[in-house]
Amino acid sequence: MKTIMKLEELKTIDQLDTFLSGTQAVAFSVMGDKDTCYRWIQGELVKFRYVTLSRPARGVVIRYLMKVSGYSRQQITRLIAQYRQHGRLQRRQRTVAGFQYQYTAEDIRLLAAMDERHDTPCGQAIKKLCERACTVFGQAEYKRLSAISVSHLYNLRKSTTYTRQRCHFAKTQPKASTIGERRKPQPNGQPGYIRIDTVHQGDLDKQKGVYHINAVDEHTQFEIVVSVEKISEHHLIPALEQLLDSFPFTVLGFHSDNGSEYINKRVAGLLEKLRIEFTKSRSRYSNDNALAESKNGAVVRKLFGYSHIPQRWAALINTFNQQHLNPYINFHRPCFFPETYTDAKGKQRKLYRYENMMTPYDKLKSLPQAESYLKPGASFEILDQLAYQISDNEAADQLQKARQRLFKTIHGRTPKTG
């Protein structure tokens, strides 16, 4: 049978250690108030002569005081430090009155009424109106509000007193996207830096039409057009994968405008996986994506026009793009390639010489060390077979016949386009 001891009977460090290990039954009650607890802790420190104890023994006393008092180790440590400094423990009751409010509930209601009658202008305007109400028109109730800081005025607008009287719904503030870098890409004379844009094929009775994704390499003007039903990620991601795979050279840069179809995490993840640099157009720089915009008009709009094409024909149009359109514009359609020079006023200008007109494929072949830019498994021998198996006129005839069959299938007639 175990003997039940009381706290007063614990007089040695060994007895405390036995109590803490749970092998000795000890009867004790929790202290009622803080003053009683502080007096008990002081008595125990005196009884065990805490100051003269060794380090391990002090640890036993601290655990003992924590267990009985219920205080944390940090609190017990603070009390012991007070005991060692002053020789006694004295609870210091802190009564904090808190901050006194400078602006009363009546002031806040005056502010809410002022905001309501003036349609919630900016903080500076409200402060000026309060100053005028007090000084110019003698309305003494606005005296405190006339001296308010603009920043604290916005704090009062968030208070409970203000919102109970008046709720103001502010327009959602746009958040700048961190996806992509706002700058103009620098290809430095090498292919692989593409500009991309989306062309929408019109609406009809609130029904969206086909979307054409047009990507153009900046240096060689190599162009790939892909058509999709919608520009949601379900359709867009496979289309981008097909588009990037269609270029004969390795894509190094991807530049778009700030449309949400490209500035999103799925597209950014795809480009990051392929280690492709992602840039987007800068504000107030309309020429950042001018190459893709010009190709929209010169190629896509000229071929498909502006009339509505239902989305269900997207797969058929995309097949037409891969079989006829993309080979024609890259291997058989000549383009101007500008020369940039600086005039007498220091302004950069572009000169389009006839001698520099060639197809995008010929431009690619003309680059120094052109073989080094091709994708693994691609070669100019394979590309030459695609480029020269038929003449430019035959490729154009095939394109026009396929285009007529396409529009006859879609509209039941041959379209008239300018």
Mean pLDDT calculated for residue range 221-237: 91
Q: How far apart are CA 19 and CA 195, in angstroms?
A: 78
Mean pLDDT calculated for residue range 228-247: 91
Which residues neighbour 167 within 8 Å (Cβ) at sequence distance 6 or greater?
Answer: none
Please give the residue that has the higher pLDDT: either 168 or 74.
Answer: 74
Q: How far apart are CA 225 and CA 56, in angstroms?
A: 79
Q: How far apart are CA 217 and CA 208, in angstroms?
A: 28
State residue 317's pLDDT score: 94
Average pLDDT score, the chain: 87
State residue 34's pLDDT score: 83
Quote the Cα angle for 415-216-325, to 5°: 35
How would residue 10 be classed by pLDDT, with cut points 50, 70 and 90? confident
State residue 414's pLDDT score: 43
The amino acid at residue 89 is L
Which residues neighbour 309 within 8 Å (Cβ) at sequence distance 6 or greater?
Answer: 201, 202, 209, 210, 317, 410
Is pLDDT of 115 > 70?
yes
Distance set, CA 263 to CA 177, 181, 270, 277, 369 (Å): 8, 10, 12, 13, 34
State residue 3's pLDDT score: 56
At 273-305, the pLDDT tens digits run 989 999 998 888 888 888 899 999 999 999 999
Kindly report the number of other CB atoms within 10 A of residue 80's CB atom.
Answer: 19
Please give the residue that has the higher pLDDT: either 171 or 382.
Answer: 382
State residue 413's pLDDT score: 53
CB 194 within 8 A of CB 251: yes
At 399-415, the pLDDT tens digits run 999 999 999 998 875 44
DSSP per residue, 209-224: B-EEEEEEETTT--EE
How would residue 1 be classed by pLDDT, with cut points 50, 70 and 90? very low
* Token pair for 65: 């005081």
Is pLDDT of 33 > 90?
no
Q: How far apart are CA 189 and CA 180, in angstroms?
A: 22
Q: How far apart are CA 80 and CA 269, in angstroms?
A: 58
Mean pLDDT calculated for residue range 31-52: 85
Mean pLDDT calculated for residue range 125-136: 92
Is pLDDT of 330 > 90?
yes
Is pLDDT of 32 > 70?
no
State residue 184's pLDDT score: 86
Mean pLDDT calculated for residue range 148-173: 85
CB 320 within 8 A of CB 405: no
State residue 177's pLDDT score: 77
